[in-house]
């Protein structure tokens, strides 16, 4: 029974990996290179996917962790709704890749605006 469970688990893992192979592409490598990050660390790319939603928290606002979490939830939902209207095909790709997200911090509004400008320069959606 244990060997059968392991075999079924491996088979399911292989099948899932094969199905999700569409999330792996040269596009992610080009985007990481455009951002000046060939290693992929702390990039906008998801673990094995094309897209990762990046939420940026301003630390100068001195919010508690709960408030930060609530604001990130609001931001994620708002971004989802905007992309749903503006670019449904992009949303489908992000959903297909498991909707990965990461939260990073910015020391102040100036740093946040610098990050936004850089994202626009490299063509991030």
Question: Alpha-carbon distance 108 to 114, whole Å?
Answer: 10
The parent domain of residue 42 ranges over 2-121
Is the whole model's pTM more than 0.75, yes or no?
no
Q: Output the pLDDT for position 103.
A: 92
Across 34-97, the runs of DSSP E, i.e. the strands, are 53-58
Contact 112, 56 (CB under 8 A): yes
Looking at residue 27, which CATH number applies to its domain? Answer: 3.40.1490
Q: What is the pLDDT of residues 15-72, one digit of tens each?
A: 444 444 444 444 444 444 544 444 444 444 545 556 788 999 999 999 999 999 999 9
Number of folded domains that form the chain: 1
Question: Alpha-carbon distance 34 to 50, whole Å?
Answer: 14
């Amino acid at each position: 029974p244990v060997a059968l469970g392991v075999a079924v688990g491996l088979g399911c893992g292989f099948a899932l990996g094969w199905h999700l192979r569409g999330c792996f592409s040269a596009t992610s490598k080009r985007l990481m290179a455009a951002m000046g990050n060939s290693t992929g660390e702390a990039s906008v790319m998801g673990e094995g996917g094309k897209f990762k939603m990046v939420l940026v928290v301003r630390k100068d606002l001195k919010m508690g962790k709960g408030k930060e979490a609530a604001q990130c939830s609001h931001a994620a939902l708002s971004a989802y709704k905007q992309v749903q209207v503006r670019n449904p095909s992009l949303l489908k790709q992000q959903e297909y890749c498991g909707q990965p997200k990461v939260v990073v911090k910015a020391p102040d509004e100036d740093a946040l605006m610098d990050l936004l400008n850089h994202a626009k320069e490299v063509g991030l959606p």
